[in-house]
A = this chain, B = another copy of it.
Amino acid sequence: MLSSMARGTMMLDGSAFARKLSQFIPLNERELAKLATLERPSQPFASGTELVYEHEIGHRAFILQQGWACSYKLLADGGRQIIDVAVPGDVLGLRSILLRTSDQAVAAVTDIAVAEVTERTLTQTFYGESRLGTAILWAASRDQAMVVEHLVNLGRRSALARTAHFLIELGLRLQLVGLASEDGYACPLTQYVLGDTLGLTAVHLNRVLRQLRDRRLLVMQKGHVRILDSAGLRSAAGYNSGYLDERPTEASLTTP
């Protein structure tokens, strides 16, 4: 039942995961080989499949090789908040294995291919291939940072800034695995999914995308994001690459 999706998100060669890690630490032959074993066997899931249920016991992790997925929580009122969107090269449920937190569901957004990673093989890798272990920890750390950034996004930015910010970061993540260029990328997220990610209704998200289009900043259509004006977009997003030193003037925040 796998639909014909995945065209845009297919890896051209090799593993997205390896590609991502090796941007952080250059990997030698043996390490690459070890990674390759980790990623076998690969199994497919149809879009919409839930890989991990909320409140599931026993934690599983998957290396996402092809396609997109997301982790989320459901609310009593039927709403859904997507915690984080995963692209090829990301690990699903890494946090839940390292730290035993789970309590999030994970589902395939498109048809996907994954390799399951057990806790045991993961710890073995940590001990046997410490540089690989470091690289994987780095990946977990990046995940954590992204969740925090997402939280700030939801708490303090307008719908427009929030959307711009998210789409910029998504592009950067995709560049890491060679799935995006400077000026765009394939993006199979529907407006419903994107809305649930950004804490917006699909209707309003649609209007926001229209604004971005009208202001010649970014076009998102037919599963493709095209960045028209990178600088303008960053400025609309309040995007702060982290380099600038905006130290608070030391005021604020007290109970004197």
Q: Which residues of A line the B interface, CB within 8 A?
A: 3, 5, 47-48, 50, 53-55, 70, 72-77, 79-81, 83, 95, 99-101, 103-105, 107, 109-110, 137-138, 140-142, 144-145, 147-148, 150-152, 154-157, 188, 190, 193, 198-199, 238, 240, 242, 245-248, 250, 252-256
Contacts and interface: CB of A to CB of B under 8 A. Distances in A.
Contacts of A256: 3, 47-48
B246 A76 contact: yes
What's the number of copies of this chain in the assembled complex? 2
29 contacts: A3-B256, A47-B254, A50-B248, A53-B247, A55-B245, A73-B148, A75-B152, A75-B156, A76-B238, A76-B246, A77-B238, A79-B156, A80-B156, A81-B152, A83-B148, A83-B152, A95-B144, A99-B138, A100-B141, A101-B141, A101-B148, A104-B148, A105-B248, A144-B144, A147-B147, A147-B151, A150-B151, A188-B255, A193-B253
Nearest to A141: B99
Contacts of A245: 55
A3 B137 CA distance: 41
Query: Is chain A's binding surface mostly helix, strand, loop or mixed?
Result: loop
B83 A48 contact: no
Given A3-B256, A141-B100, A248 B150 contact: no
Nearest to A235: B76
Given A74-B248, A107-B253, A152-B73, A138 B48 contact: no
A228 to B, nearest CB: 22
A99 B47 contact: no
A246 B151 CA distance: 24
A238 B75 CA distance: 8
A76 B109 contact: no
Contacts of A55: 242, 245
A137 B99 CA distance: 6
Contacts of A155: 81, 154, 198-199
